[in-house]
């Protein structure tokens, strides 16, 4: 197992411990809607008495929708990773779990809990200055590594923001092109 993976597992384990320390209502919180973590306009458009359905304007689905596939390019991966960074800054749990879904599923299979509870704890670990910086963060294309046309490494050093991020507080990620979109897989 690589050092980067070990750091990611250690950080995720710490997050899981924090999430577990939230008390017996933590599991219930994972399924309850959280208006503070989604945009107000999305919640305002959603009918309150109607269960989730095909017309719901919430998070994007991981399944292809018939719309144009995301570009399977370095620029497409950068765009997707920047969406993830901005969502972290906004505490947009739906978008974060959409982009990081495959990696979050691996962590959950290793006993670390669902994406929503894990990232809710992660949001608490990011300083206000870092959150503000993440909202406008960009990626330096010269610092990423294209491993294959479907696999791109995004090192923390590629993140350009007004705050400094280290491997321990943001980490490096692998994005893979799956189901016509880029996802964080490691």
pLDDT band per the 50, 70, 90 thresholds, residue 169:
confident
Range with the poorest average pLDDT among 21-25, 72-76, 92-96, 168-172:
21-25
pLDDT of 8 above 60: no
C-alpha 168/C-alpha 148 separation (Å) is 26
pLDDT the model gives residue 44: 37
pLDDT band per the 50, 70, 90 thresholds, residue 130:
very high
User: Which of 117, 101, 120 lies closest to 181, judged by CA?
Assistant: 101
User: Which of 73, 74, 70, 72 lies closest to 145, judged by CA?
Assistant: 74
Which tokens go with 52? 């989730």
pLDDT digits (tens, 9 = 90+) for 20-75: 333 334 333 444 444 444 333 333 333 333 333 343 334 444 444 456 889 899 99
pLDDT the model gives residue 72: 93
Q: Residue 143: how many CB atoms within 10 A of its CB?
A: 14
């Amino acid at each position: 197992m690589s050092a980067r993976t070990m750091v990611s597992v250690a950080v995720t384990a710490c997050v899981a411990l924090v999430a577990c320390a939230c008390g017996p209502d933590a599991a219930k919180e994972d399924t309850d809607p959280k208006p503070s973590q989604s945009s107000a306009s999305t919640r305002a458009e959603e009918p309150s008495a109607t269960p989730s359905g095909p017309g719901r304007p919430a998070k994007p689905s991981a399944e292809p929708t018939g719309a144009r596939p995301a570009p399977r390019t370095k620029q497409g991966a950068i765009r997707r990773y920047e969406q993830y960074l901005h969502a972290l800054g906004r505490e947009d749990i739906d978008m974060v779990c959409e982009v990081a879904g495959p990696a979050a599923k691996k962590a959950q299979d290793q006993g670390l809990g669902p994406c929503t509870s894990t990232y809710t704890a992660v949001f608490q670990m990011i300083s206000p200055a870092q959150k503000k910086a993440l909202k406008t963060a960009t990626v330096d294309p010269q610092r990423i590594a294209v491993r294959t046309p479907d696999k791109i490494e995004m090192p923390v050093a590629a993140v350009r923001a007004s705050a400094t991020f280290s491997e321990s507080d943001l980490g490096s990620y692998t994005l893979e092109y799956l189901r016509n979109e880029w996802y964080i897989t490691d």
